[in-house]
Amino acid sequence: MSPQGRGIAKGDTFRILHVSTGNVCRSPITERLTRHALAHRLGALGLAAGDLIVESAGTWGHEGAPMEANAAAVLADFGADASGFTGRELLDEHVIRADLVLTATRDHRAQVISMGHSAGLRTFTLKEFTRLVRAIDPATLPPLDDGMAERARALVRAAAALRGWLLAPSADADEVYDPYGAPITFFRSIGDEINQALDPVVTALTGVTPPR
C-alpha cells in the first residue's frame, strides 16, 4: 500500500475520496467496493487500476479503528477485500489531494466544501454523482488510451457542469443512511444501495460495463 493512500500510484494519478461520519461503515464499504469493481472491470481488459487511488475518511472519523464487523460481512458478500482497513479522521490534506470527493450525505458534502481548498466543483454525494454520470454521453469522454486519470477528470468536469440542471427528485434521494449499530440486514440493504450507485460510476470511469 502507498503510505499516502490506499492504492498504488503510477504515473498520472486520480484520487477518489469517499467520506462518511465515522469511517467505519459507509465509506469503508464504498471504498472497498469501488476498488473491487475497478479491479474486476479493468482486469477483463488486462489492465490495472494503479492510476486510480481510492481511499476514505470520516468527518468524525474513528482514527485507527477497524471497520465494523457488519460492514466487513457486506464486503464479503460482494467478494470484496475488507482486510487491512483502519479508520481515519478527515483532514485538510485529504481534501487537497482528492480529485473527486464522494460523500454519503448532503451534510457530509457541505462539511467537505466548508473546508475550502476549492473543493466545491469536485465534491458530490455518491448518489448525486451517479445521477449526473447517467446523463453524460460516454462518447464525449476521452478514451482509456489517453489515460484513466484524464478520463476521470473529464467525467468530474462534465458532472459539475450538469449539477444545476439535474436536481434530486426528493430531499432524501441523495442520501445514504448510516447503518451504524443496525442489524446485518440493514447493512446489506445499504451495501446493495452503494453497489448500485457505484455501478454507473465505475462504468463511466473504465468504459467497461459489468457482466450480467
Is residue 174 within 8 Å of 127, Cβ to Cβ? yes
The length of the chain is 212
- Confidence grade of residue 185 (pLDDT, cut at 50, 70, 90): very high
pLDDT in tens, 3-60: 333 333 334 899 999 999 999 999 999 999 999 999 988 876 666 666 899 999 999 9
Q: What pTM value is reported for the model?
A: 0.92
Residue 102: enclosing H or E segment and its boundaries? Answer: strand 100-103
Query: Which residues, at least 6 apart from 24, have a Cβ–Cβ distance to it below 8 Å?
Result: 58, 62, 65, 66, 67, 68, 71, 87, 180
DSSP count for the chain of H helices, then E strands: 7, 4
Q: What is the pLDDT of residues 119-169, one digit of tens each?
A: 999 999 999 999 999 999 999 999 988 888 999 999 999 999 999 888 888
pLDDT in tens, 114-131: 999 999 999 999 999 999
Rounded to whole angstroms, how far apart are CA atoms 129 and 200? 10
**128 within 8 A of 153, measured Cβ to Cβ:** no
pLDDT at 212: 61
Q: Please write the tens of the pLDDT for every residue from 57-79.
A: 999 988 999 999 999 999 999 99
The set of residues, in sequence order, having a beta carbon less than 8 Å from that of 168 and lying 6+ positions away, is 127, 128, 131, 174
- What pairs with residue 58 in β-bridges? 20, 89
